[in-house]
Each structure stands twice: as structure tokens, then as C-alpha cells.
Amino acid sequence: PTSDIGLIGLAVMGQNLVLNMADHGFDVAVYNRTTSVMEDFIKEVEAEQPSASRVHGHAELADFVASIKCPRKIVLMVQSTAVASTDRDAVDKVTDQLEPLLQEGDLIIDGGNSNWNATIRREKEYAAKGIRFFGSGVSGGELGARFGPSLMPGGDPEAWESLKPIWEAIAAKVDRETGKPIERFDPSNPVTLEEGEPCTGYIGANGAGHYVKMVHNGIEYIDMQLICEAYFLMKQLIGMQPDEMSQVFARWNEGDLDSFLIEITTDILQQRDPTDPSRFFVDVVLDTAGQKGTGKWTSISALDMGIPANAMAEAVFARCLSAIKDERVAASEVLRGPAEAVDFGDQGEFIENIREALYCSKICAYAQGFQLMREAQNEFDWDLDFGQIAAMFRGGCIIRARFLQKITDAYAEDPKLANLLLNDYFNEAVNKGQAAWRKVVSLAVLNGVAVPAFASALAYFDSYRTATLPQNLLQAQRDYFGAHTYERVDRPRGEKFHVDWPEENRPQLTL
């Protein structure tokens, strides 16, 4: 055997990860269900890549397995469709085919976007057969996979030790002092571990890596939605053109909002339509968003565990509302908004208010994401290091941002921090921005411009900082119609009471 690692699944992510590993000096065996895909890839690599001699194609699965050094490490980058833990998809099919060819102690790493429930099931199921099954989130899309993704591995800690040298080598790197990503898109000169801190690290047992990757995607949904709402306010209320907005986003990218998503938004807004350069590209893109499911999974998990991740769920619903285009077009002919426009005042000041609203909302969204992971660690018996997770998000992945250094610092100060909002830096940031945030949400509402993520993040903030919410009345209602009992403010928590509501006060049933 000559290869350090094997990879199955040569679609876009698999191919790029292979090249990344080869650039870092690892010999990689590759296999794909459809052999011609593997052959085409090998031809392309031989023609174009300096590291071609380190990529070895195999048409037969048995040859592929035999070519890898023991204990074998085999990465799966195949389509994942399982949602429930019992669903079996391509990941199971390939693992079942590999099983008779593997030896005790060999390691399978699922690098796809698998549901964490399926990973928990697989880890247990394959451990019983002597195979160590590992789930690792991979973020950063095609370019990340090629030049440095953020990698979120979960499974047996011993298995991690054997994977660690490769994962640390190929992961994105950030500057050890500033936490800023080091980006270099040069295959013959990849960023090394000596140059920067890798955006990977052991996350936890079984499905922990895939869970954290899923929450990353949930945060990605809300981050994108918040940027879209800022854009929409500038478009609808101020009437700005895309190139003018691009300049605003470019400015924002120099401050607290400095991030990959703001950067690409800056680029997108100045792009012209390739078929008609007199128009802006963004103006010809249909306003219906697609989704592959990880945002939905994040929201379902939040609901299952009773965690108020309302802004994250709102971002998923915003995509759903965008998708019912025909219905919206028909409704726009019938339903009217406010009769009169409400003035936003000075344009420059209003744009700065939008920036502050975006930053405050973003802080709440991340607070929700981290609360969700905190609850998941109790639910699934993981031991998560939130500072390390934030540190891993600083480079390589879609949500990479300057802001993540602040989260890393917050958890370094207090690893048991209950909510990001309680950290001094974030508390002060929201305090400073809240007047602007409230003004932006109010003006949006008064003018009939939907800003669901800005508004729900604000509702989260206001609810979270309020000692007494109106759910005293709600619990009384539940006791009235369903004898669900209530607790009292003047008695210890946990003691339940019930009022025998007088018969004449009960609502009459009408048939």
C-alpha cells in the first residue's frame, strides 16, 4: 500500500478535497461509483496539477482499499439524503460495500452534510462491526475544499488522532495573532501549519461534528437573510442603485461586519447582467430562494429541544415565503400596505442605522446558534468547547468573519457563558446600537417593508432581557381550559397549583 488516505465520491467537493490533500504532500487513492468520472478526473489532474503524481485512481473498490496504508482512512464525499436516524442513503451503501474489505481499526470519515442523527446511528452500528465511523462537517464550498475548508470532525477521539495530521494540514489557516484568515490560492504553495492556526479540531463524540456543521449552516441562513434585509431597506426606502449599495457594503466590510458574506455581497451588487450590461445582475435574478435542508434541520432541532432560535427559523421561513412567488404576485394586486410613506430622515444617518441594526441582529443570531449547541451537548452527552468552535469558524467557512474572534475571546474569558449577549463586549455593542436598531425596525414596519430577521432578533433581545413576560396570563389560560396547572410567584418553583374555575366562567361549547 502506498496511499496515505482514500476518498470516494469525485463530485465537486470530493475532487477539490483530493487536490488539497495532494498539495499538502499526501498520497491519495480515489474511487467513484461511475468509473468514467474517476478517469476524467485523473486525466484532468495529470494535465493541470503540480501534485498529479500523488493522486491514484482505482476502478475497483477492492484495489482502492488495498492501496491504502493501515489503519486505513477513507473519506466519503457522496450524496447524503438521510434525515431520520433509520434512513439509509449512499453513505450507508458505500460503507456496507467497504465493510468486508476493511480491517479492525480502519476509519471511515463521512465528509458530507449528513444529518447528525444518522451519524450517531452509523457510529454505533459500524463500531459493532469493528469499523470506526467518523462524521466530519466540511464547510467553505468548492473553493474552501480546494484551498482550505473549515473542518468539524466528530467521533471516536482515538480515530481523530490518526486523522488529525491530514485534517490540520488541509484546513484553512488563520493568523495566530489577529485570527484573520490567511488566504492563498496557489496549489504549488499551500498555506502551512507553521504559517497559521488550522480551522479544525476535535468537536466531540459521534454526531457532534455534523451537528456543529448544521448549526454553522443555520447561522449562514440568518447571516445571509440579515444582509438581504439591509439591501432591501436601502433599495425600497432610500431607492439606492446596486452599485451605490456595493460601496456601502465595501465600507461596512472595513469595520465590525468584516466577513466573507459582506465581501461577496459587495462584488455581487456591482456585477452587471452578463446578457445585458446596461442592467445590474442582481436586478435580473428571480427572488425565489432554494434550500437544501440544513437550515430547516437547525430550526427543527431548536423546536425539539425548546431553544428560542427564532431568528434562525425566521431566515428559513423567509426563503419559504420567497418561494411562493406566484401567490405573492397575485396578492400584491389585492393587498395594500401603508397609505403614506414615513420619512427616514438623513440618508447617511439612516444607512449607519441599518449597519447598526444588522450588527445587533447578527449578535442575537449567533447567541441563538451557540445556545442551541449548548443545549445539544446536554441532549446528546457531548462536551463541546464553544471557544474552539468559534475559532474554527474564523477561516475557511462561509460564515467566516472578524466578529468570530470576539466570540472566541468571550468563551476564553468564560467557557461556561450562558448567552453571548451577557458578555461585556456584546452587551455593550447591542446597547450602543439598539436605538438605531429600533428605529430601523420601526421605520420598516411603518413603511410596510418586511424585515423578519431584524424584527425577530429584536424581539428575542427584548424578551431575553425582560424579567417578567406575559406568559403568566398564558399559563392561566392553559389552566382554565385544560387544567394544565400553574406555578406561583410566591411559592417555590416546581410546586403546581390549579384553580377550580367556576362552571359559569367556562366557555360554552357550541356544536
Q: Does 36 bind ligand NDP (CB under 6 A)?
A: no
Give the footprint of ligand NDP on residues 374-403 (CB under 6 A): none
Stretch that binds ligand NDP, among 74-82, 99-107, 156-164, 348-356 (CB under 6 A): 74-82
Q: Does 90 bind ligand NDP (CB under 6 A)?
A: yes
Is 246 flagged in the annotation as binding? no
Give the footprint of ligand NDP on residues 104-163 (CB under 6 A): 112-113, 138, 141-142
220 given a catalytic annotation: yes
Provide, rounded to whole angstroms, the least separation between the CB of residue 297 and ligand NDP.
12
Q: Closest Cα partner for 437 from 489, 336, 364?
A: 364
Nearer to ligand NDP, 79 or 431 (CB): 79
Assign 3-state DSSP to the chain and report helix, strand, coil percentages, each to 5. Answer: 55, 10, 35
Is 402 flagged in the annotation as binding? no
CA dist 386 → 54, 163, 168 (Å): 36, 22, 19
Is 359 flagged in the annotation as binding? no
Is 20 flagged in the annotation as binding? no
Count of residues that bind ligand NDP according to CB under 6 A:
22
Is 9 flagged in the annotation as binding? no
* Binder of ligand NDP out of 3, 5, 9, 172 (CB under 6 A): 9
Nearer to ligand NDP, 308 or 396 (CB): 396
Q: Does 70 bind ligand NDP (CB under 6 A)?
A: no
CA distance 358 to 434: 10
**Interacting residues of 497 by C-beta distance below 8 A, sequence separation 6+:** 485, 486, 487, 488, 491
The string of DSSP codes covering 229-294 is HHHHHIIIII---HHHHHHHHHHHTTTTT-BHHHHHHHHHHHPEETTEEEEEHHHHS-S-----SH
55-57, strands of its sheet edge to edge: 55-57, 28-31, 5-8, 73-76, 107-110, 132-139, 150-154
First to last CA, the chain: 77
Provide, rounded to whole angstroms, the least separation between the CB of residue 231 and ligand NDP.
23
Q: Closest Cα partner for 296 from 322, 325, 320?
A: 320
Provide, rounded to whole angstroms, the least separation between the CB of residue 39 and ligand NDP.
12
Is 141 flagged in the annotation as binding? yes
**Interacting residues of 276 by C-beta distance below 8 A, sequence separation 6+:** 284
* Binder of ligand NDP out of 5, 7, 94, 152 (CB under 6 A): 94
* Binder of ligand NDP out of 7, 13, 233, 307 (CB under 6 A): 13
Give the number of other Cβ atoms within 10 Å of residue 449's Cβ: 17
Selecting among 220, 229, 314, 356, the annotated active-site residue is 220
213 given a catalytic annotation: yes
Using only the alpha carbons of the chain, give its radius of gyration: 26
Selecting among 73, 173, 197, 213, the annotated active-site residue is 213
Is 140 flagged in the annotation as binding? yes
Stretch that binds ligand NDP, among 45-53, 76-84, 422-430, 491-499 (CB under 6 A): 76-84
Active site residues: 213, 220
Which residues are documented as binding site for substrate? 113, 139-141, 216-217, 221, 292, 319, 478, 484
